[in-house]
Amino acid sequence: MYLDPQNSLPTVNLEAPDFAELLRLIQARDAGAARLLHRVLSPGVCFLLRRRLGRNDVDRQAQSVLETAMHIIETDISAQADGIPRIVLRIIQRVCAGQVSPAAGTGTLPWKRTVGGILDAMSSVEREALRKCYVLGEFAESVAGTLRLRLNEFLFYQSASKGRIHVRKAKAQVALMSMWSCRTLEGH
């Protein structure tokens, strides 16, 4: 599939990409591998990012997705040719998971303050590990390797941050419910 720049609908490309050759070139670190990956997957990546993010300016995110995919495919010796689209899709899902629609408002949202407070309390290594995982969509093994962490250290950082976010979120919801209850009682 490729995306016709004039339309927002994908058009079927009858040439099926040769993912086995692409995998071989990437893992051999061939100079033309990045161009080929970009040519084959960029239209679909841009299409999915536009749909998920709700905007047309996705070039930066698409480039990041493709660079991350290149890195993962280069370093993951267990990567399979038919798994390349799945790798790219997982990266797109991770990139889009943290994005907020522009219609959500311009003020600072309570969850952003909560997450910001948690991030401020973390070490720079913890913050970088979580950024690579959640923002850039890198896999845990890749993040641990680039930051020279043991995999279990990274997984600890990840689960601890999720736990902190859930605890603070629950506390904020309880406080909000208490305020709402008080206002409701005052009104009656």
Instruction: Give the model's pLDDT for residue 155.
Output: 82
62-89 pLDDT, tens digit each: 998 999 889 888 888 888 888 898 889 8
The parent domain of residue 114 ranges over 107-188
**Within this chain, do residues 86 and 112 fall inside the same structural domain, yes or no?**
no
The predicted model gives 136-159 an average pLDDT of 81
Domain stop point among 104, 133, 160:
104
**Within this chain, do residues 122 and 85 fall inside the same structural domain, yes or no?**
no
Domain stop point among 63, 80, 104:
104
- What type of residue sits at position 4? D
The predicted model gives 154-173 an average pLDDT of 75
**Within this chain, do residues 10 and 89 fall inside the same structural domain, yes or no?**
yes
What does the alpha-carbon distance between residue 32 and residue 23 come to, in Å, rounded to a whole number? 12
Is residue 51 within 8 Å of residue 71, measured between CB atoms? no
10-65 pLDDT, tens digit each: 555 556 788 899 889 998 999 899 999 999 999 999 998 988 888 888 888 899 89
Tell me which of 180 and 6 has the higher pLDDT: 180
Task: Report how many domains make up the chain.
Answer: 2
Instruction: Give the model's pLDDT for residue 41.
Output: 92
**Within this chain, do residues 75 and 114 fall inside the same structural domain, yes or no?**
no
